[in-house]
Each structure stands twice: as C-alpha cells, then as structure tokens.
Amino acid sequence: MDNLTHSLVGWALGETGLKNRTRKGLAALVLAANMPDIDVFFGWSPWAPLAMHRGFTHGLVGGVLLMPPLLAGLLWLLDRWQQRRGAVFRSGLPMRGGWLLALCYLGALTHPLLDLQNVYAIQLLSPMSEAWFHTDGLFIVSPWLLAVLGAGIWASRRRAKRGAARAGRPAKAALAGALGFIAANIGISVLAGHAPSQGVPYAVPDRVFASPEPLAFWRRDVIWRQNGHIGFGRYDPMRSLFTLVDSQPPVADNMGSALVAKAAHATPQAEKFLAWSQLPMARIEPHGCTARVTFGDARFTGPAVRRNFNTSVDVPTGGPGCHAP
C-alpha cells in the first residue's frame, strides 16, 4: 500500500487513545507503520532478502520481530537527548519504555497486513522462504480506505479538542470499518479467482491474481497462467457472481523458449526481476545474430505501468553465419 495509507492506519490507532500511553506514542505508531519500506534504500545489498522490495523487512522475522525494538530504541534515545537539552513536552506524558516498544510492534504489524492485500504481494516468510503471499483485497492506493481513516481521525481529534468523553470512538469505528471493507474485498477476490474455471473460458490455472480497481472496488482484472499461457478476464459481481463477464484469448508467456532460458540468467537484473515476478512473460525481438528478450509481468501490463516493470537482455541466437561468443 501507499505510505499515506500506512501512516493513517498508525495515526488512527493512536487516536483511539493508544498515543496517550507514553510520550512519543503517536510517533511510534506512525513510524513503525512505515518502517518496513526502508528496504527501498537497500536495493544494492548483496543479501538478496534485504535487496528485494517487500522481502525481509516486510516479513514476520525482519519487519515484525526484529525491527520494532530498533525503532523503539531510537525514539528512546531521541527522547533522552531532548530531555538533556531541556525540552518541554506539551503532552505532559511520561516516557514508558514498555508501552513504546508495544506500540512499535503494533504499528509494524499493520504494514505487512496491508501490503498483503494487493497483487504486488510480499515475502511473508523471508528469509526462510522466497514464497510470495497475497490476498488481492485492495488496489495499491484505495481512495475509500483513505476517506474512512481520514474521517475517523478528524472526528476523533475534533472530539478531543472539545473535551468530549470517548474521543477515540470515531477512530475505532474507522478502523473497524476498514477491517470490514478489507474482509469484504478479500471475499470478492476469492470469487473472482475461481471465476475463470466456473464458466467461459473454463480454465484450470496454476496461478491466479484478481486485481481490484481503485474506485469501482468490487470489479477485478483477473490474470491467470495455464500451460505456459496467460489469460486475462474481467470480473464484476454486480453482473455475474460466479463467472467472468469478459475474457481474452490466452497469450503465450514464452518462458519455455531456449533463448528466454538463456536470457533469464544473463544479467543480475534479469535474475532479480524473475525472482520477484509472479507471472513472468517474455517478448523476443530477433536482430541478426542476437535477440532482445524483454521480461515483463502479466500483473502489470497496462501502458501506465509497463515501462516500470520490465527488464531487457540481449543474447546471441547462434543462427547460421553467426560466430559463437
């Protein structure tokens, strides 16, 4: 999910009253809710689980177990430094180390749970396993979720300024509504994932993704793989609850080609891309004695995103008249 959504979830948790448990409680929740995305700065790392976005720092070990104590320690050191400089804390709250650590753990837990909801997926068990997990419950930026969380935070803060009792009630209602929204969308995606086999085209996929739309959240772009081919379809429960409303003829993914197999290990970039890709496809463009193999992912084939989700490799074809490298 986008970092605004992650921040609003941490903020909403704080407005339920948790931010008053300790000094820097709100900072702990919001920062911890964003902390796993620190992996975007480690793409250079020689350790593959850390270099992979949504890998180690998004998993149960790195993101949920190991990183929260580091954040809590940094916030505690910052607080001590501020005290030595004579800072006056307007909240009047004491620093409670146990609560600070607990809030860091809570905020960190929300991150993989949210990122699990979209088709980009996460390596939840990294570094023990490179398996990717996804529920397809949300578009990567959900305006509906942003609106619900934002409204809950605004209402709770307004009630708190007025000194109203139970000021955190709107924030709690917003979080409950967000959970219900996510659960309902996971259910829709489960139906969408079964739709290709319940009617035309009667597919038997080995992998399926059901990508929600940002505004019409109930609709899904369904992409699946079967026998080296990629299928695309549309699902709309308002029109048909158990089958696709539209589908296209499957296209070959070309991943069984000898040239593609050679290109897959030709560069570190290609290997990294294919380690991330869940529905890889390859386009082969011959040029004399070489061929350009461009790897893409069927989940991201639209013109707005395709250029950001591919990598190309030039490999020798070894045809007649060509010299071996």
Burial of 317 (0-12, 13-18, 19+ CB in 10 A): middle
165 pLDDT higher than 90: no
pLDDT at residue 90, as a whole number: 82
Question: Residue 87's pLDDT band (boundaries 50, 70, 90)?
Answer: confident
**Is residue 283 predicted with pLDDT exceeding 60?**
yes
Please say whether the dihedral angle defined by the alpha carbons of residues 182, 26, 141 and 34, taken in this order, is positive or negative: negative
DSSP characters for 203-232?
A: ---SEEEEEEPSSSTT-EEEEEEETTEEEE
- From 134, 151, 185, give the residue that closes a domain: 134
Q: What is the pLDDT of residue 163?
A: 84
- Whether residues 212 and 300 share a domain: the answer is no
Q: Does residue 248 form part of some domain?
A: yes
Strands 310-316, 290-297: pairing is: antiparallel
Between CA 103 and CA 30 the distance in angstroms is 9
Q: Rounded to whole angstroms, how far apart are CA atoms 298 and 18?
A: 42
Q: Could you give phi then psi for residue 213, rounded to 5 degrees?
A: -85, 155
What is the pLDDT, as a whole number, of residue 324?
54
221 in a domain, yes or no? yes
Which tens digits make up the pLDDT trace of 113-161? 999 999 999 999 999 999 999 999 999 999 999 999 999 999 999 999 8
Phi, psi for residue 138 in degrees, rounded to 5: -140, 150
Q: Is the pLDDT of residue 182 over 90?
A: yes
pLDDT at 302: 66
Split at pLDDT 50, 70, 90, the class of 86 is confident
> Coil, strand or helix: which one is 253?
coil
36-53 average pLDDT score? 92
The model's pLDDT over 188-197, given as tens digits with 9 standing for 90+, comes to: 999 999 999 9
Residues 275 and 207 in one domain: no
Domain-ending residue, one of 100, 117, 134? 134
pLDDT at 304 > cutoff 60: no
Element (H, E) at 297: strand 290-297
- Count: domains in the chain: 3
**37 occurs within a structural domain:** yes
65: in domain? yes
Helix axes 25-34, 67-84, angle to 10 degrees: 140
| 66 falls within a domain | yes
Model pLDDT for residues 265-279, shown as the tens digit of each residue = 999 999 999 999 999
Q: How far apart, in whole angstroms, are the C-alpha atoms of residue 40 and residue 174? A: 30
Range of the domain at 304: 258-316
Range of lowest pLDDT (25-34, 219-228, 251-260, 311-320) = 311-320
- 41-50, 84-93, 166-175, 316-325: which range is least confident on average? 316-325
To the nearest whole number, what is the mean pLDDT of the chain?
92
Question: Which are the contacts of 233, defined by CB distance < 8 A and separation ≥ 6?
Answer: 195, 196, 201, 221, 222, 223, 224, 244, 246, 247, 248
Given 83, 106, 134, the domain boundary residue is 134
Say whether both 228 and 262 belong to one domain.
no
Per-residue model confidence as pLDDT tens digits over 209-253? 999 999 999 999 999 999 999 999 999 999 999 999 999 999 999
pLDDT attached to residue 303:
55
User: pLDDT value at position 66?
Assistant: 96
| CB-based contact 66:131 (threshold 8 Å) | no
pLDDT at 307 > cutoff 80: no
Answer whether residue 325 shows pLDDT above 60: no
Is residue 56 within 8 A of residue 50, CB to CB? The reply is: yes
